[in-house]
C-alpha cells in the first residue's frame, strides 16, 4: 500500500530564533543500551540547545506499547536490547520500565523548557506514542507525512516505513496495527501482555531480517508519488537504517542514520538545516555511513522553474 498522500499537512510547530533545524530518527532507546542513551542525553544538552527546532522522525524508543508505560514499575532486562546488536558491550540492566520512560521524557522536557520546540513523529516501533507522552515531554506530535517550511523553502518529512511498499507483509500488518480498532484492541490488553507481544514481534522481525534486506529500502515509485503529491523536491526520512543522500534530477532524498553506540563500531548522527543548506553531522566519525559532516545540500528550493 503506497504512502497516503491525500492529506499531507504543514508541520504545526514554529521554529524559534535563527538556529538550525535538527532531524534525528531511529534511536531505539532502551535501558539495555546505556551508551546510546548517554549520547542522546549529551546531544540534548549540547547541539540541540542551539537548534531552532528538533525533529524526531520515529523510533525514538525500541518499543512503546502505550503511554501507561510512564507509570509502570516493571524491570526491563538486557534481553530487551535490539536483537541485531549481538556485539553490544552493554551490561544487563534492571532499571524499571517506567523509570526509564520517565527519564527519557524528562530529558526531552528539559530541552523544551530551554525554549527549543520538539516535534515527534511516530515510528513503526513507537507508533503508540500519545498525548500523555507529548505533554510530559513538552513535544508536539506530527502527522506522517508532513511538510516543514523553513528559510523560505520546504521539506517533506516521514518516518519512512510507509515508503517500503515492497514489503507487502509489513504493510498489511501496519494497516491493521495503525487502525483505530487495532490500536484500541492492543491498548486494552494488560501492559505486561503488550510488552511480551512487542518483544515477540521484534525478535521475529530480527530473525527474518537477513531474508528481507532486499525489501527493506524505500520504493522509488512510493518516493516519487509522495513528492508528486506534495509538489516538493526534498524528502527526509529514517526507518531503513541506510543513511545517505540520494539525488535524482532536482529531487533530493536524505535518509537519517540509526543510532547504536553500544556496538563496535558505533554509529549515529543527525541532519542539520541552516542558511547554508542541509548537511549531515556524524556523532561517530567515519562509522555511521553518513556523508561527511561538511556535505551540504543548498538546493532545497521547491518552487517551480
Range with lowest mean pLDDT among 30-39, 69-78, 187-196: 69-78
For the residues 150-176, what does the mean pLDDT come to?
A: 94
Q: What is the pLDDT of residue 90?
A: 41
pTM, rounded to two decimals? 0.87
pLDDT at residue 162 greater than cutoff 60: yes
Q: Residue positions in the annotated binding site?
A: 26, 28, 59, 124-125, 159, 167, 205, 212, 239, 241
Statement: residue 223 has pLDDT above 80: yes
232-256 per-position pLDDT tens digit: 999 999 999 999 999 988 999 999 9
Determine which of 63-72, 142-151, 195-204, 233-242 has the lowest per-residue pLDDT on average. Answer: 195-204
Kindly compute the dihedral angle of the four CA atoms of residues 53, 58, 59, 60, in this order, to the nearest 10 degrees.
20
Q: Does the structure show a pLDDT above 90 at 40?
A: yes
Residue 220, pLDDT > 60, answer yes
Return the CA Rg of the chain. 18
Q: Is the pLDDT of residue 110 over 50?
A: yes
Burial class from Cβ neighbours inside 10 Å (0-12, 13-18, 19+) for residue 246 reads middle
CATH class in words for 21-297: alpha beta
Residues contributing to the annotated binding site for Mn(2+): 26, 28, 59, 124, 159, 239, 241
Residue 166's alpha-carbon distances to 96, 107, 121, 170, 217, in angstroms, are 38, 37, 22, 9, 8
**Span 101-127, average pLDDT:** 97
Confidence of residue 91 (pLDDT cuts 50, 70, 90): very low
Residues making up the annotated binding site for substrate are 124-125, 167, 205, 212, 239
Amino acid at each position: 500500500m503506497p504512502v497516503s498522500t491525500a492529506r499531507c499537512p504543514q508541520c504545526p510547530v514554529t521554529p524559534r530564533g535563527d538556529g538550525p533545524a535538527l532531524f534525528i530518527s531511529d534511536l531505539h532507546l532502551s535501558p539495555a543500551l546505556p551508551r546510546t542513551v548517554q549520547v542522546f542525553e549529551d546531544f540534548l544538552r549540547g547541539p540541540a540547545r542551539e537548534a531552532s527546532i528538533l525533529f524526531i522522525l520515529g523510533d525514538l524508543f525500541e518499543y512503546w506499547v502505550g503511554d501507561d508505560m510512564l507509570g509502570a514499575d516493571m524491570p526491563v532486562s538486557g534481553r530487551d536490547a535490539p536483537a541485531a546488536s549481538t556485539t553490544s558491550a552493554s551490561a544487563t540492566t534492571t532499571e524499571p520500565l517506567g523509570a526509564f520512560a520517565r527519564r527519557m521524557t524528562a530529558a526531552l522536557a528539559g530541552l523544551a523548557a530551554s525554549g527549543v520546540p520538539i516535534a515527534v513523529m511516530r515510528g513503526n516501533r513507537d507508533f503508540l506514542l500519545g498525548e500523555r507522552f507529548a505533554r510530559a515531554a513538552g513535544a508536539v506530535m506530527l502527522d506522517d507525512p508532513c511538510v516543514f517550511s523553513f528559510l523560505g523553502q520546504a521539506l517533506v518529512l516521514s518516518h519512512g516505513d510507509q515508503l517500503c511498499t515492497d514489503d507487502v507483509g509489513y504493510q498489511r500488518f501496519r494497516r491493521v496495527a495503525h487502525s483505530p480498532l487495532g490500536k484500541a484492541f492492543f491498548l486494552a490488553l494488560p501492559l505486561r501482555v503488550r510488552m511480551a507481544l512487542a518483544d515477540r514481534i521484534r525478535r521475529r522481525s530480527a530473525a527474518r531480517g537477513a531474508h528481507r534486506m532486499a525489501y527493506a529500502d524505500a520504493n522509488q515509485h512510493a518516493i516519487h508519488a509522495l513528492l508528486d503529491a506534495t509538489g516538493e523536491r526534498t524528502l527526509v526520512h529514517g526507518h531503513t537504517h541506510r543513511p545517505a543522500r540520494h539525488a535524482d534530477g532536482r529531487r533530493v532524498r536524505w535518509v537519517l542514520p540509526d543510532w547504536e553506540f553500544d556496538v563496535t563500531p558505533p554509529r549515529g548522527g543527525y541532519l542539520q538545516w541552516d542558511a547554508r543548506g542541509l548537511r549531515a553531522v556524524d556523532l561517530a566519525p567515519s562509522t555511521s555511513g553518513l556523508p561527511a559532516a561538511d556535505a551540504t545540500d543548498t538546493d532545497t528550493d521547491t518552487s517551480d522553474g
